[in-house]
Amino acid sequence: MANISKKVSWSGRGDDRGERTPLLNGAEDGKYNRHVLNFVFQSLDYDNSENQLFLEEERRMSHMGFRCLETRRWVICGLIGFLTGLIACLIDIAVEKLAGYKYSAVKQNIEKFTEFGGLSISLILWAVLNSAFVMVGAIAVAFFEPFAAGSGIPQIKCYLNGVKIPRVVRLKTLAIKVFGVICSVAGGLAVGKEGPMIHSGAVVAAGVSQGRSTSLKKDFKIFEYFRRDTEKRDFVSAGAAAGVSAAFGAPVGGVLFSLEEGASFWNQMLTWRIFFASMISTFTLNFFLSIYHGKPGELSSPGLINFGRFDSDSVQYNLYEIPLFIIMGALGGVLGALFNVINYWLTIFRIRYIHRPCLQVMEAMLVAAVTATVSFAMIYFSNDCQPLGQDNTEEYSLQLFCADGEYNSMATAFFNTPERSVRSLFHNPPGSYNPLTLGVFTLAYFVLAVWTYGLTVSAGVFIPSLLIGAAWGRLFGILLSTITSSQSIWADPGKYALIGAAAQLGGIVRMTLSLTVILVEATGSVTYGFPIMLVLMTAKIVGDYFIEGLYDVHIKLQSVPFLHWEAPPTSHWLTAREVMSSPVTCFNRVEKVGRIVDVLSNTSTNHNGFPVVAHTTENDEPGKICGLILRSQLIVLLKHKVFVERASSRLSHRKLQLKDFRDAYPRFPPIQSIHVSQDERECMMDLTEFMNPTPYTVPQETSLPRVFKLFRALGLRHLVVVDNENRVVGLVTRKDLARYHLGKDGLEELHLAQT
């Protein structure tokens, strides 16, 4: 938390800190949540605290030492990739097995009852099976680790942006996440298993790079050098990239995802390591899946979702199709925005009324049952029979009321894992689906997917988006070839399915470069790069007109102080003086323990960074800056009782080392847990050795965009504002910058609130 005691509000709204609004709850009007920044989120310290201890350690290190560190980083990245790939493999196999059992059971049941009637029993069986799976998953999430809910991408976005989201990179979260996603996909919900992979990769990275697990209370005593936010965040980027890579078989896309979401500063070696982790991840998955499928060494499944091979004939597109693609992009943007708006209101409804875990589990079970029912009804009432192909790619082809040698085409879309349905829509030959089936399917699946996203289950939105898009895209293609009534190049509906899928996904998540590359890598062919880029761009422009992307909607709903790439364009009016928090609580170089304890214990401010000044007087004259010290550092100092009085009796007390700080990282004890006696309160503490002696500073006249750029480029947590005498006059933190955003009527300022 920033040193926000009094806020000089440029917009004249005055002091807004008095309001204490419960997070996401009890807001009088629904819109309110969008104008709040939550007070509790803390930032990562991406900037190294270069204090004396740190410099001594760095200076002691030889050239070989740095080489070893670098090698260790590579090893860690390799491990991250390997473990992420293994997890992806586990999820894939578990889902395949469980879904296989379920569909076989239901299929047998349906076949049994088709002739005699009594299909309602099949429906009930299906619904019960679905609900059971989902119930197990939802209970795990709702009761044991609510942070494992959803895809985890918004959380990882925030983490990479520099916001410390509590519990997000814990081992327990990973376990629940993996278990939950298996249950929800096997439970037939309109979800994918790809999004959670990104979160899983990030957790793996955070765990491996620290060489210990605080959840398991196990310290391997390795990689201790990396126990700080700077290094950890770099590894988490690699983990997220490995996750994307395993999910989509898209190593380059993974790197770009990490960069798009996280990088404040591009470093070639780091990027190359991230790429290494991504490559290892997709390779591991590919390798183990090839063994599982009984064809070891035949590396044909680089990702969890495989778009299948687009043959060279169908891959071509013509110049005159480009306007059509743009139209599809716009359509995707509109549908995506619609998705996001509905989901936004639904989420607000959920926050307000469905916040008890058991209610959440029940809602998830309800959705599972409804999904089964809708699917069943659609299959039942559709009479779209198609002849069974020679290759018989449909694993669970349902004959139902079709003639022998035919199957129900609606069932291929519903009676299947969504990944397979997507692939069918891309590759089944023209004529496999009739337009009505596709239309009804799009509508039904759209509703189900909107309802499902945000449930208290672990699940992703990529695959449902792709599926919706592929369905209406294919429909679009079929209609086109009907209108032109020629069997020309138009007639390949698979191509339009791909473009539709891209448009819909782009309209919902609004990722740009990384998504283009992910989709191109997933199709395995670079030929579609240009149309996919055009479609994603159009979808983003059109969609942004209505509402932000789905992840951003959810980030805003969480009131996270998210920093965008640049300051809002019209913010040159503001200077550091207006933006900063002041007055700032400062410490002297040699400070009384009592004062430190009092300041740290003050729950109403809960500051995290304190400028150290040469001399503070009790009157309002500010002191000259000579350093910056963090709450976490002070806590460690207090815990080890590094007081000046004790230092004189040197023999009794060893010198504090960087290791003591690393051991306490990342869960520094709260101040309340540290006992300081009345005698000790009178002692003094010398902060010189531990503070960062060269914090970044800016003068008061610096414009907001300039402050923003410095803050963002260096991943700062605190930026000290000084006057021309170098005296501390204010402190800029993440929340001070994230408050400003561009609204409909120009620059707007968000309120700060605390849960």
The interface with its own copies within residues 567-586 (CB under 8 A) comprises: 569-570, 572-573
Out of 12, 18, 294, 297, the residue judged to bind its own copies by CB under 8 A: 297
Stretch in the footprint of its own copies (CB under 8 A) among 291-299, 463-471, 545-553, 668-676 = 291-299
Calculate the CA dihedral of residues 539, 544, 550, 551 and round it to 10 degrees.
110
Out of 66, 220, 345, 545, the residue judged to bind its own copies by CB under 8 A: 66
Instruction: Report the residue number, 8 or 269, with the smaller CB distance to its own copies.
Output: 269
101 scored as a contact of its own copies (CB under 8 A): no
Least distance (Å) between residue 300 CB and its own copies:
8
Which helix (H) or strand (E) covers residue 6, if one does? strand 6-7
Angle at 651 between CA 647 and CA 655, to 5 degrees: 55
Largest Cα separation within the chain, whole Å, is 95
Instruction: Report the residue number, 646 or 706, with the smaller CB distance to its own copies.
Output: 706
746: left (phi over 0), alpha (psi -120 to 50) or beta: left
Going residue by residue from 41 to 60, which x/- string records binding to its own copies, judged by CB under 8 A? -------x-x----x--xx-
323 scored as a contact of its own copies (CB under 8 A): no
430 scored as a contact of its own copies (CB under 8 A): no
Residues in 702-721 at the binding interface with its own copies, rule: CB under 8 A = 702-703, 706, 709-710, 713-714
Q: Which residues contact 483 (CB under 8 A, 6 or more apart)?
A: none
Residues in 521-550 at the binding interface with its own copies, rule: CB under 8 A = 521, 524-527, 529-530, 533, 537
Least distance (Å) between residue 54 CB and its own copies:
8
Stretch in the footprint of its own copies (CB under 8 A) among 258-266, 348-356, 383-391, 579-587 = 258-266
Instruction: Report the residue number, 604 or 724, with the smaller CB distance to its own copies.
Output: 724
Cα gap 280→276, rounded to integer Å = 6
Contact 172, 133 (CB under 8 A): no
Q: Which residues contact 47 (CB under 8 A, 6 or more apart)?
A: 230, 696, 714, 715, 716, 717
Residues in 147-166 at the binding interface with its own copies, rule: CB under 8 A = none
Give the distance from CA 137 to its chain's centroid: 20
Residues in 494-513 at the binding interface with its own copies, rule: CB under 8 A = 512-513
287 scored as a contact of its own copies (CB under 8 A): yes
Residues in 195-234 at the binding interface with its own copies, rule: CB under 8 A = none
Cα gap 12→22, rounded to integer Å = 24
Q: Which has the closest alpha carbon to 441: 472, 477, 398?
A: 472
520 scored as a contact of its own copies (CB under 8 A): yes
Least distance (Å) between residue 551 CB and its own copies:
14
Contact 250, 244 (CB under 8 A): yes
10 scored as a contact of its own copies (CB under 8 A): no
Cα gap 137→146, rounded to integer Å = 11
Which CA distances in Å does 351 have to 24, 292, 370, 389, 602? 7, 42, 21, 48, 30
Stretch in the footprint of its own copies (CB under 8 A) among 172-180, 341-349, 457-465, 692-700 = 692-700
Least distance (Å) between residue 283 CB and its own copies:
5
Least distance (Å) between residue 607 CB and its own copies:
23
Out of 78, 85, 187, 302, the residue judged to bind its own copies by CB under 8 A: 302
Calculate the CA dihedral of residues 631, 566, 6, 628 and round it to 10 degrees.
30
62 scored as a contact of its own copies (CB under 8 A): yes
- Asked if residue 22 has a cis previous peptide bond (ω within 30° of 0), the answer is no
Least distance (Å) between residue 58 CB and its own copies:
4
697 scored as a contact of its own copies (CB under 8 A): yes
260 scored as a contact of its own copies (CB under 8 A): yes
313 scored as a contact of its own copies (CB under 8 A): no
Least distance (Å) between residue 728 CB and its own copies:
12
71 scored as a contact of its own copies (CB under 8 A): no
Q: Give burial (CB, 10 Å; 0-12/13-18/19+) of 525.
A: middle
In the block, which residue shows the tokens 């210990």? 212
Least distance (Å) between residue 299 CB and its own copies:
7
Structure tokens at 675: 């006992």
Give the distance from CA 646 to its chain's centroid: 47
Least distance (Å) between residue 252 CB and its own copies:
6
693 scored as a contact of its own copies (CB under 8 A): yes
Out of 20, 319, 381, 485, the residue judged to bind its own copies by CB under 8 A: 319
* Spatial strand order in the sheet of 6-7: 6-7, 581-582, 728-733, 718-722, 697-699
72 scored as a contact of its own copies (CB under 8 A): no
Out of 272, 349, 353, 545, the residue judged to bind its own copies by CB under 8 A: 272
Q: What is the DSSP string of 164-175?
A: E-TTTT-HHHHH
Angle at 446 between CA 441 and CA 447, to 5 degrees: 105
Instruction: Report the residue number, 345 or 573, with the smaller CB distance to its own copies.
Output: 573
590 scored as a contact of its own copies (CB under 8 A): no
Out of 72, 373, 699, 748, the residue judged to bind its own copies by CB under 8 A: 699
Least distance (Å) between residue 285 CB and its own copies:
12
Least distance (Å) between residue 618 CB and its own copies:
22
Q: What is the DSSP string of 315-350?
A: H---GGGHHHHHHHHHHHHHHHHHHHHHHHHHHHHH
DSSP 3-state of 715: coil
Residues in 641-680 at the binding interface with its own copies, rule: CB under 8 A = none
DSSP 3-state of 533: helix
Least distance (Å) between residue 423 CB and its own copies:
17
Residues in 605-644 at the binding interface with its own copies, rule: CB under 8 A = 614, 624-626
DSSP 3-state of 610: strand
Which spans in 141-228 are helix H? 153-161, 171-186, 195-210
281 scored as a contact of its own copies (CB under 8 A): no
Instruction: Report the residue number, 40 or 713, with the smaller CB distance to its own copies.
Output: 713
Least distance (Å) between residue 47 CB and its own copies:
9
Stretch in the footprint of its own copies (CB under 8 A) among 247-255, 397-405, 615-623, 672-680 = 247-255
Least distance (Å) between residue 614 CB and its own copies:
8
The number of beta carbons lying within 10 Å of the beta carbon of residue 474 is 31
Least distance (Å) between residue 276 CB and its own copies:
7
Give the sign of the dihedral formed by CA 253, CA 254, CA 257, CA 258.
Answer: negative
Q: Which has the closest alpha carbon to 60: 657, 698, 512, 603?
A: 657
Least distance (Å) between residue 745 CB and its own copies:
9
Stretch in the footprint of its own copies (CB under 8 A) among 107-115, 182-190, 310-318, 369-377 = 310-318
